[in-house]
Amino acid sequence: MKKNILTILAVGGVVAVFASTSAIAAEEEKKAKKKPDQAARFAKLDKDSDGKLSAEELKAGFKKKPEMAEKILKAKDKDKDGSISKEEFLAKRTPKKKKGDDAKKPAKKPAKKKDAA
């Protein structure tokens, strides 16, 4: 009887693992369909195919929200040349530090010196 229970539990475990794996894969596929590839998005916005997005190209891509184009340009234009290169566009965003983040971290205590005895 114990053998049957263990077999059923093992089969149940495999089914549960398979079900959760397929659910994760389905979720990732759903996200991929929902959010277009960033490189493809860049190519679509880069109307003159010069490898950079100008303020005008960004505004054309964000017709309903031109202020969003300005925010994106300001945030992504790291070299401040007035346009966003493909590398700048594809670079991962680093979150800004909140005020007081440094103050929350405890200061490191200096190492204790051993007595030379």
Q: Please give the pLDDT value at position 108.
A: 63
pLDDT tens-digit series, residues 28-74: 676 655 556 889 999 999 999 999 999 999 999 988 898 999 999 99
**CB 52 within 8 Å of CB 46:** yes
pLDDT bucket at 80, cuts 50 / 70 / 90: very high
Q: Please give the pLDDT value at position 112.
A: 67
Higher pLDDT, 107 or 67: 67
Q: Please give the pLDDT value at position 95.
A: 64
Considering only CA atoms, which of 70, 96, 102 is closest in space to residue 84?
Answer: 70
Q: Please give the pLDDT value at position 37.
A: 87
Q: Please give the pLDDT value at position 88.
A: 93
Tokens of 71: 């925010």
Q: Which residues of 90-115 are buried (b: 16+ CB within 10 A; e: fewer)?
A: eeeeeeeeeeeeeeeeeeeeeeeeee
pTM: 0.50
Mean pLDDT of all residues in 72-100: 85
Q: Please give the pLDDT value at position 68.
A: 92
Domain architecture of the chain: domains with CATH: 36-91 (1.10.238.10)
Element (H, E) at 51: none
